């Protein structure tokens, strides 16, 4: 059969890519296949959530003080159990757990760490809006067999793999191992992720801005001036932009990767507990910034690249502006000028 009819699956893609980089170990293949395996199980549950009575709240709260939906719990358990027993990792962290997660007794510790948001956008679960899993993989940098938080809290610039799974009308896995950004769509009939979006590149300038305008009064002057600027009528510069905001980071970033423009979650003074915005560095902003940069775009905290931030806390938040390089640069200019 012609190659095109069979399609390239995730394993074949990574193998082909690794042939170009023999220094990459076969472990990367194993890591991404384990993530894909867990994603298939979560995808099955997400897609039948509407039918099975699992949408109720567990009544528990996660470290963010948010009601935990059962699907959150389920996704967290699936990824932690699958990856913790894979032999690839020395330590893990997820949005759902306040502390780092050790590898269970009796299982081999590997040479990588992984930080995950197992089910991002969970407030959208029961309104059938796209949700997703976000993952960030680093090489172990500490000497002991068991990893520590230090193996997780590395700048995003060090990531060896990052990506997300978006559970929507189809389930897609979008990832990078530093050699471009590639999208795979799950074919449930064979249970394989097949390459559907090779070498994704973000347009250098877009015409969509994505932000929760309800927070306008709480933003800095620079962010407000930028938003006012892109709403002004100026056909020569392609303004006004269209606005799109799904309220699910994976869905908003996925659209931005494919269509360009800028997705923003700025710092705001709405909630004194969250002075740096809402999104998490380790398992949301850093992996998404990794993808945006490897797709030819940019990702900024407003004052510098997200990938250059040295993490100081497991669940720390950072302001996040990402997408088309030219749009992110222009935002940064407004922040320099007005803040
Ligand atoms: P807001 C979902 O809860 C989430 O963590 C991200 O997926 C999303 O980008 C953001 O919060 C939306 O937050 O304040 O606009 O509802």
Q: What is the pLDDT along the chain (339 residues), one digit of tens a residue?
A: 455 556 788 888 887 777 766 555 578 889 999 999 999 999 998 887 555 444 545 556 666 766 655 888 899 999 999 999 999 999 999 999 999 999 999 999 999 999 999 999 877 877 888 999 999 999 999 999 999 999 999 999 999 999 999 998 899 999 999 989 999 999 999 999 999 999 999 999 999 999 999 999 999 999 999 999 999 999 898 999 999 999 999 999 999 999 999 999 999 999 988 899 999 999 999 999 999 999 999 999 999 999 999 999 999 999 999 999 999 999 999 999 999
CA 120 to ligand 1 center in whole angstroms: 8
pLDDT for the residue 68: 56
In this structure, are residues 153 and 311 in contact, taking their beta carbons and an 8 Å threshold?
A: yes
Give the C-alpha separation, 264 to 328, whole Å.
9
CA 244 to ligand 1 center in whole angstroms: 14
Which ligand 1 atom is at minimum distance from the Cα of 131? Answer: 7
Beta carbons within 10 angstroms of residue 319's beta carbon: 24
248 lines ligand 1 (CB under 6 A): yes
Strand-strand pairing, 131-139 and 57-61? unpaired
Which ligand 1 atom is at minimum distance from the Cα of 123? Answer: 3
Substitution site in 278, 283, 319 for ligand 1 pocket (most atoms within 8 Å of beta carbon): 278
Three-state DSSP class for residue 127: helix
132 lines ligand 1 (CB under 6 A): no
- Phi and psi of 200, rounded to 5°? -65, 130
pTM for the full predicted model: 0.93
CA 248 to ligand 1 center in whole angstroms: 6
pLDDT for the residue 58: 56
Domain residue spans of the chain: 10-197, 208-338
278 lines ligand 1 (CB under 6 A): yes
254 lines ligand 1 (CB under 6 A): no
Three-state DSSP class for residue 333: helix
Beta carbons within 10 angstroms of residue 85's beta carbon: 15
121 lines ligand 1 (CB under 6 A): yes
120 lines ligand 1 (CB under 6 A): yes
pLDDT for the residue 1: 42
In this structure, are residues 279 and 224 in contact, taking their beta carbons and an 8 Å threshold?
A: no
pLDDT for the residue 5: 59
pLDDT for the residue 57: 52
249 lines ligand 1 (CB under 6 A): yes
pLDDT for the residue 222: 98
CA 133 to ligand 1 center in whole angstroms: 13
pLDDT for the residue 105: 96
CA 68 to ligand 1 center in whole angstroms: 14
With CA atoms as reference, report the closest residue to 254 among 131, 126, 75. 131
**Where does the chain have alpha helices with state H?**
3-6, 10-20, 27-48, 70-84, 149-152, 221-231, 249-259, 286-294, 325-338
Q: Span 208-338: which CATH code?
A: 3.40.190.80
Give the class (CATH, top level) of 10-197: alpha beta
pLDDT for the residue 219: 98
Substitution site in 248, 315, 323 for ligand 1 pocket (most atoms within 8 Å of beta carbon): 248
256 lines ligand 1 (CB under 6 A): no
């Amino acid at each position: 059969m012609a190659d095109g009819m069979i399609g390239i699956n995730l394993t074949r893609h990574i193998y082909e890519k690794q042939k170009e980089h023999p220094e990459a170990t076969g472990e990367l293949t194993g890591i991404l296949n384990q993530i894909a395996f867990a994603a298939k199980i979560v995808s099955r549950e997400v897609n039948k959530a509407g039918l099975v009575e699992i949408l109720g709240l567990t009544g528990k709260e996660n470290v963010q003080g948010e009601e935990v939906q059962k699907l959150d719990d389920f996704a967290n358990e699936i990824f932690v159990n699958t990856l913790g027993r894979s032999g690839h990792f020395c330590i893990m962290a997820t949005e759902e757990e306040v502390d780092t997660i050790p590898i269970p007794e009796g299982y081999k510790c590997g040479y990588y760490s992984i930080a995950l948001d197992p089910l991002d956008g969970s407030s959208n679960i029961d309104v059938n809006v796209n949700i997703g899993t976000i993952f960030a993989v680093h090489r172990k940098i500490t000497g002991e067999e068991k990893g520590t938080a230090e193996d997780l809290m590395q700048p995003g610039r060090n990531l060896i793999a990052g990506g997300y799974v978006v559970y929507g009308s189809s389930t897609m896995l979008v990832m990078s191992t530093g050699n471009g950004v590639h999208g795979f769509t799950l074919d449930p009939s064979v249970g394989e992720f097949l390459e559907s979006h090779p070498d994704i590149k973000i347009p250098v300038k877009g015409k969509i801005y994505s932000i929760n305008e309800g927070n306008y009064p709480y933003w800095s002057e620079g962010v407000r001036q930028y938003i006012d600027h892109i709403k002004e009528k100026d056909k020569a510069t392609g303004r006004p932009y269209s606005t799109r905001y799904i309220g699910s980071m994976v869905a908003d970033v996925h659209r931005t990767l494919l269509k360009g423009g800028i997705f923003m979650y700025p710092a705001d003074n709405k909630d004194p507990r969250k002075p740096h915005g809402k999104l998490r560095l380790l398992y949301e902003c850093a992996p998404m910034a990794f993808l945006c940069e490897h797709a030819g775009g940019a990702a900024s905290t407003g004052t510098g690249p997200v990938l250059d931030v040295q993490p100081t806390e497991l669940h720390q938040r950072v302001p996040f502006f990402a997408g088309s390089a030219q749009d992110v640069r222009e935002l940064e200019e407004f922040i320099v000028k007005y803040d």
